[in-house]
Chains A and B, each alone.
Chain A
Amino acid sequence: MARIVETATGEVERVDVDPVTLDLIENGLRNARYEMDEVLFRTALSPGIREQHDEFPLIGDPGGKMVVGQFGLSIPDFLDGFDDTVEEGDVLLTSDPYACGAAISHANDWLLVMPVFHEGRVVGWASMFGHMSDVGGKTPSSMPTDARTIYEEGVVIPPFKLYRRGVPNDDALRIILNQVRMPDWNRADLNGLVAACRTAARRVVEMCQRFGTATYLSALDALLQRNHDAMKVLLQAVFEEGRTLSFTDYICDDGVGNGPYELKLSLTRTGEKVHLDFTGSSPQAAGPINYYINENLTRMFFGIYMITVADPQILWNDGFYPLVDVTIPDGSYWKPAHPAALNGRNHGIGRVFDLFGGLLGQTNPALLNAAGFSSSPHFMYSGHYSSGERKGEWFQLYSIGFGGIPGRPLGDGPDGHSLWPSFVNIPCEYLESYYPLRIETWQTVPDTGGAGLHRGGNGVDVAYVFEEPGEIAIHDDRWLTYPWGVNGGEPGARGRKWIDRAEGAREVLPSKCHGVAVHPGDVLHFVTWGGGGWGDPLLRDPELVAREVRRGLVTQDGARRYGVVVTEDGEVDAGATETVRDQLRADRPAELPVFDMGPPVEELLARCEEETGLPAPRRPVWTAG
């Protein structure tokens, strides 16, 4: 239990805040939050933050409630487990998900927590975490796909004072950085995180000076209340009393031969509260795909789907959290017991989007999105240069793949894009300039987006030609289960990976693997999955289908899924199209299902080897005890 040392005495009295001042403070907090991102992006060295922008900021009130931000840290819980003082100038660091109530979800994430002092008292908290591209452990980038415990996943830092009253603990940092492969990266990123938190602290203090501490703190209360009140109205309007909604999606496998894992989420409104319940989900995985989520993060994801639609400019905060009860069963995929491995949780985080979309969309299918590119698949390549002026030098690439955004009520899903905000790909020319590889193809794959009135976005095929011997690692998913379509739309295509060896053999790779040796001239095809389709494909404008054939986004054969016959010249054959569409309509049920998940899991498993070239995983089971 941490003891907070404040030199000021007495409480700050709460005052009335006029509505405009409230909005000014809301705006100031929003600016401070984006400034945190900016500082870190611009200074980071590790590709995870620099290119993928895998970082999340938070500004809290004195009691530790998030008043603006994007992750689920509970500062009170964090301080409960921290047995030391907290003073002005302190900066706390941890990378242990099990020591901070899953505010971070794997050991690659380094979390800083910093009290903000003004005139001798805590007026808030600044916090931020970022994904370090390497934290040691047995594989480059610290994400072994066969890990069974967190001890295999690199250095795990318990909460401690990186700065004590402004003085850095250089010894501790030296010990930590001695465990990692690219200490320069971690040091730069850590500096960037500290600089970002200090920027936030400066902005909070400036607001206390400008408006007065009492007004500032009272405004935070009002902002929290504003979220609470807004959500209360929304919950009543959207969810029927007592009706339980449920949705289940999957993670295909856990890297060590088990799968698919069922992710089940249910929602029931009772009175002014809703209950989100993960009961019915699969048990914790043997491999590293567990997504250790906490209650607050669940609330935040839920809130994002609810409130952004009503007032996109609203500031995210904790205010509505008391309206949402959350149940996460111990020992489940979502709350594994220590020391379960956690590194590959990126699929689970992404799948949360599909899960909430599928769950909440049932209240109004017209607003339902299909399943999208709900992950951030990783590709790693590392080794030593074998010749030339860099002979002997270590290289280590970490990059993210992108795929099909689903068909949406708004329109088609973009091809080869990111479902995560602010992620960007690493340019080919950058990769070729800094790593011993060449990229032969960087195209979206026609027909991989699910057919629909609004087409799902296509997946991407990136073909890497290796120029130095080394090892590669892959973290991907949706190779077995399908990105589902909705409202008559079809599922998108699944992801695939293979190597065409320099000597001619083709080798299919599992979607999760590491330590795969590659040699100069070998070509890896990293093919991501497409987004699901939205709406009846037979209603799509035939001219648009033909244009997409000419654009190379749909093939002539693929156009048939829309019932459109396209000539060799890329024009619509109107007569034939009508005939085909009539036939397709006659051959299908009159009522199209809301969800098209593709074949049932049993069937997918039975045909797994034949269709994917990979052995079927074993279904996970709960065991007693």
Chain B
Amino acid sequence: MSYRLGVDVGGTFTDVLLVDEDSGATWRAKTASTPADQAVGVLHGIEEVCADAGIAMAEVAQVLHGTTVATNAILEGKGARVGLVTTRGFRQVLQIARSFVPGGLAGWIIWPKPEPLADLEDTVEVEGRIASDGSVVRPLDDDDVRAQLTRLAGHGTQRQGVQALAVSLVNSFADAGHERRIRELAAEVLPGVPVSLSSDVLPELREYERTLTTVANGYVQPQVEKYVRHLSAGLREGGVAGELSILRSDGGLQSADAAVAAPVTMLLSGPAGGVTGAVWVAEQCGHRDLITFDMGGTSTDVALVRGLSPRIGRETKVGDLTVRASSVDVRTVGAGGGSIAHVPELTRALRVGPQSAGADPGPAAYGKGGVEPTVTDADVVLGYLPSALAGGEITLDVEAARASVSKVAEAMGLDSPEAAAAGIVDIVNENMLGGLRLVSVQQGFDPRDFALVAFGGAGPLHANALGRLTGAWPVIVPPSPGVLCALGDATTSRRDESARTVLRRFGQLTDGELGQILRELADEAADRLAAQGLARPDQTVGFQVDVRYHGQGFEIPVEVDPAWLDGAGGAGGGSTGALAELGKAFDAEHDRLFSFLLDVDHELVNARATVTGPRPDVAPVRLEEGDGDPAGALVTEHPVHVGGEQVTAQVYDRARLRAGDVVRGPAIVTEMDSTTLVLPGHAATVHASGSLLITPVEG
């Protein structure tokens, strides 16, 4: 018997999912998160779930974990003090920050510029200089480097030494020699201080992005290291024999050691777990193309998945910070259940967000002192969240919700709080539609070709409406949305990637050179995974390159079919070559996105190889077969407002629904940690795997 554990640490709860690898049976535990030391809550949850399953912790072979430790270090500004080594003349690279000011015309007036992640006081310059072709303009001077590092060590100054060191020299993507030498010298001058080299973290052209990413790596590293070591030790002491793996932002798994070495790759570890969980759930229901819709309290995350593969983006955004690291292309809309509705006096328009009531005081309906009208209050006013049925954990104050929403009704001159509530819900749905369009229509995808998988605290309440706005059917509401991330952690595979900037026009490149570059990158990643215990025969290699028309400022990522590299491309025997195939694939994508092509040479900018292990199997839950009639799960009836009318919704207990039952709208389906709204004219069919599939009813 062997077991695997998926662990997701959220802001409030830690979800643990235990999977019996043979039978696929699962057990879950939900414990309070322990922000001061997340490992405490995790270990507690593991003990609980093992006790529940009646197994010893020693029987757990693998612990798979999505964590927000790195994200929180950045959001809370509690990372390490990072010393930065730059090239002479470039000390202010983070201060200048590409000269970019966000916002529209006059946006500069109201923009508070964030402080650089490495203080200028902790930034030094060295004399050595590499040219863009990798040649040496000025050699590195060891004495100069030692003197600069000594300053960062705090010797001879009143300052403490830095806690982490980032080295990012101009053109180090072309030659890493100077950076590597600095690492050697840092081991002497700054013993015990972790060093991040930009040529390791992100060997790509663009000094600001590379420097920022390298500094971010150093910034979160000490906390990540402490957490991972502490958790590993705790697991060992608790008797867990299996190893700990951490989810990367791109949805792959890496060993704990790899995570510590490159923590910048796991900034979106948490959301990636949600997306991989959604993929697994959709697959159970027979859907391979989907859009995820994770609506929480303050924001909503959406991502697009084709053929069970999430779109991977090259940027990771956390708060104000954007670093260059691969991550599931999750777009965030600043709208959620806690978003506050307001009506500016001047224009009397209805605005929802971006301000949020957060967890404290929260929506007025939570009765914790909130008075501002939020989306959740509007949901309550419309009857979508019956007060007696919120899992019993929170009692909803309907009158407080009505009072708050009435303020909006008054300001807009509407005759009832219901009318204002309907407006708030419509506006917030529209904001989220904007997010869904970002990942679909604006990337050239028709949302009607995708299913919509809804989770997060407020997702299942708003999902039916979003399905109607996008035409993405069915809307899939997974069972126990709260545990979805842990499920994602438990069902993902090991992964690593190597990348580098190539920057050559196709005319300056041969098929053979392209193949060689990609195979070298694959070997690097494969070796690292082999060192983590993943045997070569179990590895799958994928190639991706970023291509643009020579002179463009943006690249389009294109998958490289390994067959092209074998010279086996081209149907009908005529080999057309890898570069020609790549050019065709790029043109097709450019045409799809922008509906035109250019007669300009293609340029290869970055090349990447991704190596993945086999995907673990989790046997799906099978619900007992029902007769199509959900009456056995009927709890009560409740009035709801839809489309300007009051109608009566049936309220069902999700735990008592059986496979094949059809819940006709208007209906509300409740469970411990979520509530699903089925609108009139729609029906939710209970899938054997436990998900609800909402579709419009014919006729």
**Residue positions of A touching B, CB distance < 8 A:** 19-20, 22-24, 26-27, 31, 35, 38-39, 41-46, 50-51, 70, 184-185, 187-188, 191-192, 194-195, 198, 226, 229-230, 233-234, 301, 304-305, 307-308, 310-314, 353, 369, 372, 402, 405, 408, 410-411, 414-425, 427-430, 432-433, 438-444, 460, 463, 547, 550-553, 569, 571
Contacts and interface: CB of A to CB of B under 8 A. Distances in A.
A47 to B, nearest CB: 8
Contacts of A191: 594, 596, 598
Q: Please give me the 10 A-B residue pairs with the lowest Cβ-Cβ distance, nearest first.
A: A551-B120, A50-B553, A402-B99, A441-B89, A432-B132, A45-B551, A20-B423, A311-B344, A42-B554, A416-B96
B149 to A, nearest CB: 18
B98 A427 contact: yes
Contact of A372 (B98, B108, B430): B108
17 contacts: A23-B427, A27-B431, A70-B104, A195-B596, A230-B346, A230-B347, A305-B106, A408-B109, A415-B96, A416-B99, A418-B108, A421-B101, A422-B100, A423-B100, A429-B205, A433-B132, A438-B137
B552 A44 contact: yes
Contact of B347 (A185, A311, A422, A553): A311
Contacts of A369: 109
Given A27-B431, A427-B205, A20 B350 contact: yes
Interface string B106-140: 11111111000001110000000001100001000
Contacts of B388: none
Contact of A51 (B88, B349, B553): B553
A424 B100 contact: yes
Interface string B328-363: 000000000000000010111111000000000000
A622 B594 CA distance: 50
A43 B207 contact: no
A418 B100 contact: yes
B103 interface: yes
B622 interface: no
B636 interface: no
Nearest to B92: A443
Contacts of A46: 551
Contacts of A230: 346-347
A219 to B, nearest CB: 12
A423 B99 contact: yes
A421 B105 contact: yes
B40 interface: no
A433 B552 contact: no
Contacts of B104: 70, 304, 308, 421
Contacts of A547: 121
A446 to B, nearest CB: 10
A408 B106 CA distance: 12
A271 B354 CA distance: 36
Interface of B: 88-93, 95-113, 119-121, 131-132, 137, 157-158, 170-171, 173, 205-209, 344, 346-351, 412, 414, 422-423, 426-427, 430-431, 434, 437, 442, 503, 549, 551-554, 590, 593-596, 598-600
B352 to A, nearest CB: 9
A319 to B, nearest CB: 11
B165 to A, nearest CB: 19
Given A20-B422, A421-B105, A430 B96 contact: no
Task: Determine which residue in B103, B110, B173, B349 has the highest number of CB atoms from chain A within 10 A of its CB, and name it.
Answer: B349
Given A26-B349, A305-B106, A438-B131, A415 B206 contact: no
Nearest to B503: A433
Contacts of B92: 415-416, 442-444, 552
A43 B552 contact: yes
Nearest to A24: B430
B89 A463 contact: yes
Contacts of A439: 89
A438 B437 CA distance: 42
A46 B137 CA distance: 30
A186 B95 CA distance: 34
Contacts of B348: 19, 226
A603 to B, nearest CB: 30
B96 A425 contact: yes
A188 B106 contact: no
A252 to B, nearest CB: 22
Contacts of B121: 547, 550-551
Given A429-B173, A432-B132, A185 B100 contact: no
B598 A433 contact: no
A310 B344 contact: yes
B419 to A, nearest CB: 9
A192 B427 contact: no
Given A24-B426, A42-B552, 9 more contacts: A31-B434, A45-B600, A185-B551, A188-B598, A408-B109, A410-B110, A419-B101, A429-B205, A463-B89
A44 B422 CA distance: 42
Looking at B106, B158, B173, the one whose CB has the most chain A CB atoms below 10 A away is B106
B99 A418 contact: yes
A425 B99 CA distance: 6
B107 A428 contact: no
A161 B170 CA distance: 48
Nearest to B554: A42
Contacts of A441: 89
A305 B104 CA distance: 12
B346 A233 contact: yes
B347 A432 contact: no
A421 B107 contact: yes
Contact of A414 (B101, B347, B349): B101
Contacts of A50: 551-553
B348 to A, nearest CB: 8
A307 B131 CA distance: 49
B112 A417 contact: no
A422 to B, nearest CB: 8
B90 A427 contact: no
Contacts of B351: 23, 311, 313
Given A429-B171, A569-B158, A314 B600 contact: no
Contacts of B414: 19
Contacts of A35: 442
Given A20-B427, A421-B105, A550-B121, A43 B594 contact: yes
A417 B96 CA distance: 7
A408 to B, nearest CB: 6
A416 B349 contact: no
A356 to B, nearest CB: 9
A444 B100 contact: no
Nearest to B208: A427
A424 B554 CA distance: 13
B347 A187 contact: no
Contacts of A405: 101, 108
Nearest to A428: B207
B99 A417 contact: yes
Contacts of B97: 417
B125 to A, nearest CB: 10
Q: Which of the listed residues B101, B111, B206, B209 has the most CB atoms from chain A within 10 Å of its own CB? A: B101
Nearest to A192: B594
Most buried by B among A20, A39, A187, A550: A20
A438 B109 CA distance: 34
Contacts of A229: 347
Contacts of B173: 429
A572 to B, nearest CB: 13
A419 B108 contact: yes
A307 B553 CA distance: 33
A405 B173 CA distance: 32
Given A38-B442, A45-B552, A311 B349 contact: yes
A392 B240 CA distance: 68
Given A23-B427, A569-B158, A432 B171 contact: yes
B185 to A, nearest CB: 23
Contact of A23 (B206, B350, B595): B350
B207 to A, nearest CB: 5
A429 B553 contact: no
